[in-house]
Amino acid sequence: MRILESNLGTDAITRVHVESTDGKDTWGTVGVSDNVIEASWEALVDSVEYKLTSDASGEDPKELA
């Protein structure tokens, strides 16, 4: 987790980085919000969506970009 613009106090923007693994591959996702729980949720949801997309397509989504 990283606080952006910490001089803003409670109005600061929070950036959360989640690193995930399935035991074989590792990937990272980021969530950004003024609410740490919302930023964490965004990063977690993106991580799960990434894995599901990767498994469903049979390809590495990183290679499709």
Q: Are 54 and 61 in contact (CB under 8 A)?
A: yes
35, part of any domain:
yes
How does pLDDT run across 25-43, given as a tens digit for each residue? 999 999 999 888 999 999 9
pTM of this structure: 0.73
Maximum Cα–Cα distance for the chain, whole Å?
45
Residue 9: pLDDT over 70 = no
Q: What's the domain range around 6?
A: 2-58
65, part of any domain:
no
CATH assignment at residue 46? 3.30.160
64, part of any domain:
no
How does pLDDT run across 15-27, given as a tens digit for each residue? 899 999 999 999 9
